[in-house]
Chain A
Amino acid sequence: MNDMSILVAGVIGLLGAGLYGLLAVRNLFQVIIALQVLVKAAVLALVMAGYASGNLALGQSLGVTVIVADTVVAVIGLALAVQVKRHLGTLDIKALATLRR
């Protein structure tokens, strides 16, 4: 198994772990953490694709853009989670379904 196959396996494994977390956890903070894991897999895939195609600079610049977007998503998600905790008193995502009742 060569290095590129190992990296692709790593990307797939991180995607699997992120998807598992996204479906399994009910805490809002952990949902954001699962999203972060998924985005890290995407960044690694972009950089790896740039490396494999011989255009690492393009992969790196796209990776930087994704990292910035990912950080902003984390900040806004954290702000929403803190506000949810203040207003509903819990971080359980099931408590957010108030419109259904």
Chain B
Amino acid sequence: MLNLILVSGAILCALQAMQTKRLIRAALWLACVSAFVALTMYRIGAHEVAVIELSVGAGLVTILFVFGISIAGEDAMDAPAIVPKVLIGGMALALVVTLGLLLLPVGEGSPQPEQTSFAVMLWEQRALDVLVQVGLIFAGVLGVLGLLADEAQVAHKPVKRETAVANPEPVLAATETPAPQEARA
């Protein structure tokens, strides 16, 4: 019963994130989806990935979204979708019905006793995945630099203008100093 509530909550939050016009609210609904998914994973025994999902999905990604929205600004759009909404709803419903018919009902499953722990699996048996993750994190750092790059340039430009306007004397002095030398020569 609790699983049903959690799963329903995740789907409702996802639909709300798609429906709302304000971007900040959409980001917060996405955080709720992450929290519900993390709770669901915790319930089935996947504690480690549930904690990572909660901290990264509901924490870091939400902060990044709020940061990005605060840079770009709220740009609420009432423009209609490119594809008619009836067609979109029909396609999504067709996907749900088809997958439901193919996959449901599912048997209870037979969870066997765990042979390996999560740490051994991640660090020893899936070491290549960890290396790929390191590369991906570097790509993420470059992405953050892309978020901040233009901001830095914009922040530097007015400073240059201010210094040029505030201290015009050195320029004048530099142009005036060679004059006496030329006169002497």
Contact = CB atoms under 8 A, between A and B. Distances in A.
A4 B107 contact: yes
B37 A8 contact: no
A17 to B, nearest CB: 4
Nearest to B24: A29
B64 A33 contact: no
Contact of B48 (A10, A16, A60, A86): A60
A58 B18 contact: no
Interface in B79-100: 79, 81-83, 85, 88-89, 91-93, 95-96, 99-100
Contact of A51 (B104, B111, B150): B111
Contact of A15 (B85, B95, B140): B95
**Majority secondary structure, A binding face:** helix
Given A4-B106, A60-B46, A37 B17 contact: yes
Interface of A: 1-10, 12-21, 23-27, 29-30, 32-34, 36-37, 40, 43-44, 47-48, 50-65, 67-72, 74-76, 78-83, 85-86, 90-92, 94
Chain B contact-residue range equals 35 or more
A54 B112 CA distance: 5
A67 B53 contact: yes
Interface of B: 3-4, 6-8, 10-11, 14-15, 17-18, 23, 26-27, 30, 33-34, 37, 40-41, 44-46, 48-49, 52-53, 56-57, 60-61, 64-65, 67-69, 71-73, 75, 77, 79, 81-83, 85, 88-89, 91-93, 95-96, 99-100, 103-118, 120-122, 125-126, 129, 132-133, 136-137, 139-140, 142-144, 146-147, 150
